Each structure stands twice: as structure tokens, then as C-alpha cells.
Amino acid sequence: MNAGPRHLEDGRARPLSELAALVSGEVLGEPSTPIVGVSGLEQAKAGQLSFFGNQKYKKQLAASAASAVLVPRDCPPSERGVAFVRVDNPHLAFARIAQEFAPRRVFAAGVAAGAHVHSSASIAGTATVQAGATICAGAHVGARSVIGPGCYVGARARIGDDTVLIANVSVLDDCLVGERCLLHSGVVIGSDGFGFAFDPSIPAHVKIPQTGIARVEDDVEIGANSCVDRATTGETVIGRGTKIDNLVQVGHNCVVGPLSILCAQVGLAGSTELGMGVVLGGQVGVAGHLRIGDLAKVGAQAGVMSEVGDGEIVNGSPQMDAKDYMRAAAVFRRLPELNRTMRDLQRRLDALEQESKKP
């Protein structure tokens, strides 16, 4: 609930009824309430719209200065006269409306004077290549795409239409990025996979050439300083619509299914396969050469050492059923107490045994 304020740059207000119609909402209150921006419950001011979707934020809702709030369908009218908009999913509705107020950057098409573009590269006429970017031989940049300052597009790499590389992004030789993708600063697509064979006769770690590629499908967003390694052979794949947080490592030959979510500091070892719609919480580590099934969810800081079935929810290290993990965690907190009880019982048992040995 800590969304920062977003507002129209020209201060133009939009009637609440118009915004409610965008999300099929039911207005409880004055439909003409003017809205100039969106914000979280605690930060909102008059003229702004917020959302309420979790009961633990009831106090913030009661104290919010927002002029209107998106609420669940079963929410009663406000006792303070604040306009409510009933929707099926307040968080989703907030996202849709926030897009209406988000500033839209406009980029001038063309190649900036300070960019370095090889003569054999193909740059769409409507694309933008900013100063300091490098486009290598045989690379392609699609229509309306933006290659930000300091970005590197390697030889024969391809960037699809309407994709944005923010700044200092590297898409290395032969790698593919689809349409409508957003790669944040410091992302690296196609660095070498971590592959070595140990030769005890030297001794030394002998590098295995990483001759495959990394392929990022359409509508993917990848957060700052995340890395997707190229395959040893074949492809490392990030599926359509997947969203990857900052500081995530995807190892060589991994296949991340469509519409998956990888939160910050997730690490996937080589040849891991994620099904469709998988959610990995922050700092999840996954051992290589295993599969996490469709719609599975893995809790934060879990260590996945074996396969996870479709729809399973797991936690812990090594992972276990999430409900079993919570029960085990409750027992773990009581271990000092249980240990004292066991020692006391052992002393009493020893005393009884000694007593029984007396003639």
C-alpha cells in the first residue's frame, strides 16, 4: 500500500465516473468527483484515488485523505463520505487506472550522433538509438524500440518492435529479445553459462564453450542487474509475459515458462525448467536439472532441491509443503522448551531405572 503519487502533468482532472468505467466499477458517492492522480492510502491527498484490498489496512483507509478509493465488491459505503468504487480486484483496477496517469516519455526517432552503429546493422526508421549505445554487425532493432545510453546490442542480436532497453543493457551476440519488452539498467542477456569440466591431471577447471543463445519472448520485463545466461548448446528461454525482478540469475539452458514471476535475488541453476505461471519468492534458490510445475508457488528463501508438481505451494530448505513448513516452523520455535522437557523426562526415567535395580 505504499504506492507513490502519480498525477497528470497538466493537472487536468478526470471525473471519477470516467475512471470507474475503465475498470467496470460501481461508484458509491459523487460520480463527478475530480481526480488528478493516484497514490497509496497513507500518502494520498484530496483529488487523488487510492485502493483498499487487504483488511490489515483498515486503519489507513479510515484515516486516508484520498478523494476516492477502489474497494472490493462487498465493501459497505464510507462512513466519512469518501467516494468508493466497488471492483472485483482493487489492486488490478488501481494498476489500470494508474496507467492513465503515468507520464509517457516520447522519444525522437533516429540514431543520436554519439551512438555507434555498424554499417550492416538494421535499425527501423521509427526506432531510437541514444548517445553512447553500440549496435554491432548484423544486429536488428525493431520499430519504435528504444536503445538507451550505454546499451550494447551484439553481433546478429535482434530486438523486437516496441521494446525498451533503459540504459547500460547488454544483449550479446546472436541473442533474441521479443516485442514490447522492458529491460532495466544493467541487465545482461547472453553472458556465458557457468560451465566447466575438472581435469585432475593439471589440475584445472576447463571451460566448456557456451555456443547457444538466450531468447526472451514478447511482453517480458526484467529488472535491474539481472542476468540471463546463454545456453551451452541450444537456448535459454524466458517465456512470454514473464516478469523478473532486480538481481535475478537465470542459468544456462533454463526454460522459464510464460507468465511466471521471479522476485528479487532468485537464482536458477542450469537446465532448470519452470512451467507456466510459476511464482518464486525473494531469494529462492533452485538446483539444476529439475522442473517446477505449472502454477506452482515457492516461498521466499526456499531451497528447491527436487521437483515441484503442478500447483504445489512449498517453502523451506529443502522445500516441503507450505502448510507442513509452517507447522514445522512452529515446532522449531519451541525447541529450547522441548529440549528442557526431554532432559527432565530423561532424568526422571534414569531415576526410575536406578530405583528398579535396587534389591
- pLDDT by residue for the chain (359 residues), tens only, comes to 344 444 444 457 899 999 999 999 999 999 999 999 999 999 999 999 999 999 999 999 999 999 999 999 999 998 888 999 999 999 999 999 999 998 888 899 999 999 999 999 999 999 999 999 999 999 999 999 999 999 999 999 999 999 999 999 999 999 999 999 999 999 999 999 999 999 999 999 999 999 999 999 999 999 999 999 999 999 999 999 999 999 999 999 999 999 999 999 999 999 999 999 999 999 999 999 999 999 999 999 999 999 999 999 999 988 878 888 788 878 878 888 888 999 989 989 988 888 888 77
HSE, side-chain direction, 13 A CA sphere, residue 78: 25
Residue 140 annotated in active site? no
CATH of 6-101, one of 3.30.497.10, 3.40.50.1100, 1.10.357.10, 3.40.1390.10: 3.40.1390.10
| Strand locations in 79-160 (E) | 83-87, 110-111, 116-117, 122-123, 128-129, 134-135, 140-141, 146-147, 152-153, 158-159
Q: Are 63 and 79 in contact (CB under 8 A)?
A: no
Predicted confidence at residue 276, as pLDDT, reads 98
What is the amino acid identity at position 139? A
Specify the domain boundaries for CATH 2.160.10.10 within the chain. Answer: 110-322
d(CA 305, CA 318) in angstroms, rounded, equals 6
Superfamily of structural domain 110-322: Hexapeptide repeat proteins (2.160.10.10)
**Beta-carbon contacts of residue 60 (< 8 Å; ≥ 6 apart):** 1, 41, 42, 52
Q: Tell me the pTM.
A: 0.87
* Residue range(s) of every CATH 3.40.1390.10 domain in the chain: 6-101
For 73-112, b/e burial (b = at least 16 CB within 10 A) is eebeebeeebbbbbbeebeebbeebbeebeeeeebeeebe
Among 7, 205, 252, 289, the one annotated catalytic: 252
- Give me the helix-helix angle, 322-333 and 335-357, nearest 10°: 60
* Three cell numbers written together for 217: 519472448
Q: Residue 7 has what pLDDT?
A: 46
3-state secondary structure of 158: strand
Would you give the DSSP letter of residue 4?
P
